[in-house]
Amino acid sequence: MANPSLLILAGDGIGPEVMAEVKKIIGWLGAKRGVTFDVTEDLVGGCAYDAHGTPLHDDTMAKAMEVDAVLLGAVGGPKYDNLDFSVKPERGLLRLRKEMDLFSNLRPAQCFDALADFSSLKKEVVAGLDIVIVRELTSGVYFGEPRGIFPDNEGGRFGVNTQRYTTDEIRRVARSAFELAKRRNNKVCSMEKANVMESGILWREEVQWVHDNEYPEVELTHMYADNGAMQLVRWPKQFDVIVTDNLFGDLLSDCAAMLTGSLGMLPSASLGAPMANGRPRAMYEPVHGSAPDIAGQGKANPIACILSLAMALRYSYDMGDEATRVEKAVEKVLADGVRTADLMGPEGGSPVSTSGMGDAIVTALDASL
């Protein structure tokens, strides 16, 4: 049988740095577990623009549609800030999400015991935290028309983005949230702003419809997203699965990142409809960006990207045991006190480099055999 396929798009800034550590884990899986992937690599974001004048070449898009899964590092950076909007690095990422139709973005926020002291919140608020934000990823204000910057009649300009959701778009992401909740603690909290947005009213009605007609056994609550942001910081353990739209999901997941200690800890899985192999079309990526402030310095935490690979093992390759093995190895190195700089408190200490963290995780994997 052919090996499972994986397209790696390391991208910009710290993307290639954290991806180098993921490759060590992939190498380890091949050497020590006999799990071999057909890995191809390509460009996305600013580096693709530098090479081809576009943040995502059509050939790369075609490859992404063919593989079992895509693993992406990060895109963007100050070098590209003044590019025309249509060729900005982020457009490459958004094109992948849209054309692969990856409507359900799972962003788990889990606080490892060893980091509970390190969160900016009190230990009892975050210890044992295990929640998932399900972010709608292919619609809403990120993609709605009309959009643009236009001249007004007074010699000024106005900018427009449109929040637009259809019944089907809301129902399908709601279903993915209910399905996930059934495998967890059976609770979904849906967040929108139905108090001020018509799209929020539709969101609330359709999520409720999916609940009442298809998942009455799952507990469903609704919350305005601004309150949701506050509740995430006040008492995050009240949540199990949160389902929300594209923009609120972006903000709430960065907020949830700090519950775990660092943005460098949060992985994600973006899932679409099942492919011919029965697995969902999928792309995995850390929640963080290209971190220009630390790029090139060996300071980046590779754990978010490594845990994204673990999510790929679980959701795209049916290798839940190997996924757990990787997650346990991460847990072990953190328990052993191995820390990248982002996981150090103000009092400092001696952080390991990006590759030091990757090596420590490989050593922990060896110890797991």
Ligand X SMILES: CC(C)[C@H](C(=O)O)[C@@H](O)C(=O)O
Residues annotated catalytic, as ranges: 142, 193, 226, 250, 254
Record the tokens describing residue 306, joined without a space. Answer: 């490594």
Q: Using CA atoms, how far apart are residues 46 and 88, in angstroms rounded to an integer?
A: 7
Question: Is 266 an interacting residue with respect to ligand X (CB under 6 A)?
Answer: no
Cα distances (angstroms) measured from residue 170 to each of 54, 267, 339: 31, 23, 40
Which of 104, 119, 176, 301 forms a contact with ligand NAD (CB under 6 A)?
301
82 is in an annotated binding site: yes
Q: Report 302-321 residues binding ligand NAD (CB under 6 A).
A: 304
Among 100, 287, 341, 352, binds ligand X (CB under 6 A): 287
Identified binder of ligand NAD from the candidate list 193, 288, 314, 325, rule CB under 6 A: 288
Contacts of 346 (CB under 8 A, 6+ apart): none
Is 81 annotated in a binding site? The answer is: yes
- Under 8 Å between Cβ of 5 and 283: no
Task: Say if residue 85 is exposed, middle or buried (CB neighbours under 10 Å; 0-12, 13-18, 19+).
Answer: exposed
Contact between 99 and ligand X by CB under 6 A: the answer reads no
90 is in an annotated binding site: yes
Please, which residue, 121 or 220, has the CB nearer to ligand NAD? 121
Subset of 331-350 contacting ligand NAD (CB under 6 A): 342
Choices 35-43, 73-81, 204-212, 269-277 (CB under 6 A): range interacting with ligand NAD: 73-81
Per CB under 6 A, 16 contacts ligand NAD: no
Q: Does 291 bind ligand NAD (CB under 6 A)?
A: yes
The nearer residue to ligand NAD, 13 or 236, going by C-beta atoms, is 13
Residue 339 labelled as part of a binding site: no
Give the residue with the Cβ less far from Mg ion, 263 or 312. Answer: 263
Binding of residue 21 to ligand NAD (CB under 6 A): no
The reply, when asked if residue 297 is annotated as ligand binding, is yes
Q: Which of 200, 195, 191, 137 is nearest to 169 (CA)?
A: 137
Q: How far is the CB of 76 from ligand NAD (least distance, A)?
A: 2
Nearer Cβ to Mg ion (181/266): 266
What does the block give as tokens for 118? 């390190």
Alpha carbon 331 to its chain centroid, in Å, reads 19
List of residues contacting Mg ion (CB under 5 A): 250
Cβ closer to ligand NAD: 203 or 284? 284
> Is 26 within any annotated ligand binding site?
no
**Taking CB within 5 to 8 Å according to partner kind, which of Mg ion, ligand NAD, ligand X, none is near residue 362?**
none
| Interface residue with ligand NAD, options 7, 74, 223, 364 (CB under 6 A) | 74
Footprint (CB under 6 A) of ligand X, residues 27-86: 76
* 228 neighbors 188 (Cβ within 8 angstroms): no
Q: Are 90 and 75 in contact (CB under 8 A)?
A: yes
Binding residues: 77-90, 97, 107, 135, 226, 250, 254, 289-301
Residue ranges binding ligand X (CB under 6 A)? 76, 90, 93-94, 250, 287, 289
Residue ranges binding ligand NAD (CB under 6 A)? 14, 18, 74-77, 90, 93, 263-264, 285, 288-294, 300-301, 304, 342
